[in-house]
Structure formats: C-alpha cells, structure tokens
C-alpha cells in the first residue's frame, strides 16, 4: 500500500519525460482523469492533479537518445549518503545531487543492470498528495534480468525488505517490496525477473514502471487505445490482485492500470 505518509525507501514522487508535453497532458487527462497545471508561460512542464491533489509531474524529454518514460522517486533522509551507497553497491549516478531551493534535494541513478530510478530528500515539499486511490500511484514495479542482484542492490541502498510470491502457472517467483521496518500492509511494489528478449522497450535493459489505480480497467484501456496509446498485455484478471493491463502511451512510455481486487 502506497501512502502519503512517506518513510525512507517509500515512493514519494514520479514524473514523465515526454517529447510532446501538451499531447501527454491530454492523453493522461483522458485515461486517468488528470488535470494539468503548467508551471507558467513558456515553461515546458508542470503538475498533474487528480481532484485538486498533486499526483505526478510532467516535463519535456531533453536527454539525447533517451526514451520517454516514467521516473519513480523514493524518499531518502540524505541524498549525499544515498549517492555514496549507490556507488559502493555498483550503481551509476546519472544526475548528481541537486537542490531545489528549500523544497528538497534530488538525484537520479541507474542500478548495476541499468534500471533507472531517483530519490528525493524532502524539504518543504514531501511528495505527491494522493496515492492508492483511483487516478493515482498504487504500486511500483521493476522488470529486471537479475532478481537476486536487484534485491541485493536495492536492499543495500534503500533498506528494502523482500518477500516472494509464486507466479501463477509455475512461472517463478514475484518479489514483494516493503520499506525497512514496516509491516506487510505497507508493501509498495515488486520486482520480476525476465529474459532480455522480453524487455524490448529498452533493448534488454531493466526498467521501472508505475501502476495506477483506476475504477474500471476496461474503460481505462478503451481510453488508452482511443487516444493513441496501445496495450502490451491485458486486460486480465490476476487472482488476489485485480484486473490490470500493461499499456504504452503514444510516445511508448509504459505504465499499468489496475482495478484492485475487492476484499
């Protein structure tokens, strides 16, 4: 369960780098019911809101050769210490620690296999204002080529606790993620091992993606396809999880829509 009661290691923010900001704003508005709030005249980005609450950010994709993708940020107490931990554990610093005035500090990294993620050291801004509700982040997921190595890295860097759940049909194990010291009710995501050939979006490199809660998975998928996006998998019912679909927006940024199981 993702909450806005942030603790070290919990998801606290996410943003999308898109080649066409107005088009992305319109797409996610249609699919997730988000309103886009520009940062101002001439700005190439802004905030998404759901029912008036900030849920994510949107900015212009500027990195040469980069694909459009969602970046997930995790809460940390000290960005500098986290950066040192990433380097000691074999990761790469993609963006060195930087401050946004008194709002907070951030940095971006790649894990040893290439999965990209970011961290946020809160100041006046702690993170998104809505989670685990329709139209907001409800889960985070890593597709990786080496699950044991990913557990070792993220456990060392972010202090996560792990547990395994068997995949349906004998398809191996799905690793569940919980912040350090918290009960299973605060599980926030998972990681799954896949072969490089199954990671075609990134030419075999591991990647994170967000899962957004929706009231009606099929209706959300209809909005995805009706607004220029596509579906990689689903909609499908997953026992104990709910009905979900793995989707791509018109710029091939991946995300999941999920109607959670009841009870």
Measured CA to CA, the distance from residue 103 to residue 190 in angstroms comes to 29
29 pLDDT band, cuts 50/70/90, is very high
Measured CA to CA, the distance from residue 27 to residue 99 in angstroms comes to 31
Measured CA to CA, the distance from residue 29 to residue 153 in angstroms comes to 35
Q: How far is CA 62 from CA 14, 19, 68, 206, in A?
A: 17, 8, 10, 21
Q: Mind listing the pLDDT tens digit for each residue in 124-145?
A: 999 999 999 999 999 999 999 9
Query: What pLDDT was estimated at residue 64?
Result: 80
Taking residue 119's Cβ as centre, other Cβ atoms within 10 Å add up to 27
Measured CA to CA, the distance from residue 2 to residue 225 in angstroms comes to 27
What angle, 0 to 180 degrees and rounded to 10, lies between the N-to-C axes of helices 217-226 and 21-32? 150
Q: CA dihedral in degrees (128, 141, 108, 158; nearest 10)?
A: 90
Q: What's phi and psi for 144, nearest 5 deg?
A: -135, 155
What angle, 0 to 180 degrees and rounded to 10, lies between the N-to-C axes of helices 147-158 and 79-88? 150
- Residue 137: which of 182, 42, 201, 73 has the closest Cα? 73
Domains annotated on the chain, with CATH: 1-263 (3.10.180.10)
Residue 171 has pLDDT above 70, yes or no: no
Please state whether beta strands 53-60 and 104-110 pair in parallel, antiparallel, or not at all (unpaired).
unpaired
Q: Which residue has the tokens 């190595």?
A: 149
% helix / strand / coil in the chain, to the nearest 5? 20, 40, 35
Measured CA to CA, the distance from residue 51 to residue 77 in angstroms comes to 29
Query: What pLDDT was estimated at residue 248?
Result: 98
Q: Mind listing the pLDDT tens digit for each residue in 73-114?
A: 999 999 999 999 999 999 999 999 999 999 999 999 999 999
8 pLDDT band, cuts 50/70/90, is very high
Residue 31 has pLDDT above 80, yes or no: yes
Distance of CA 24 to the CA centre of its chain: 16
**Whole-prediction pTM:** 0.96
């Amino acid at each position: 369960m993702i909450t806005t009661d942030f603790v070290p290691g919990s998801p606290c923010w996410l943003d999308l780098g898109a080649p066409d900001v107005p088009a992305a704003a319109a797409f996610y508005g249609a699919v997730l019911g988000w309103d886009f709030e520009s940062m101002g005249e001439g700005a190439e980005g802004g905030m998404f809101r759901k029912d008036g609450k900030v849920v994510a950010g949107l900015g212009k994709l500027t990195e040469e050769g980069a694909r459009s993708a969602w970046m997930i940020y995790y809460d940390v107490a000290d960005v500098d210490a986290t950066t040192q931990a990433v380097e000691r554990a074999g990761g790469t610093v993609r963006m060195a620690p930087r401050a946004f005035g008194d709002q907070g500090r951030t940095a971006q990294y790649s894990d040893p296999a290439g999965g990209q993620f970011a961290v946020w050291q809160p100041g006046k801004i702690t993170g998104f204002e809505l989670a685990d509700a329709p139209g907001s982040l409800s889960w985070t997921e890593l597709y990786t080529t080496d699950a044991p190595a990913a557990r070792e890295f993220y456990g060392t860097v972010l202090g996560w606790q792990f547990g395994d759940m068997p995949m349906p049909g004998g398809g191996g194990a799905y690793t569940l993620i919980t912040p350090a010291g918290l009960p299973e009710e605060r599980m926030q995501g998972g990681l799954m091992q896949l072969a490089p050939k199954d990671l075609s979006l990134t030419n075999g490199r591991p990647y994170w993606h967000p899962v957004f809660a929706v009231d009606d998975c099929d209706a959300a998928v209809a909005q995805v396809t009706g607004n220029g996006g596509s579906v990689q998998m689903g909609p499908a019912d997953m026992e104990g999880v709910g009905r979900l679909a793995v989707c791509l927006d018109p710029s091939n940024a991946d995300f999941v829509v999920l109607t959670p199981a009841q009870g």
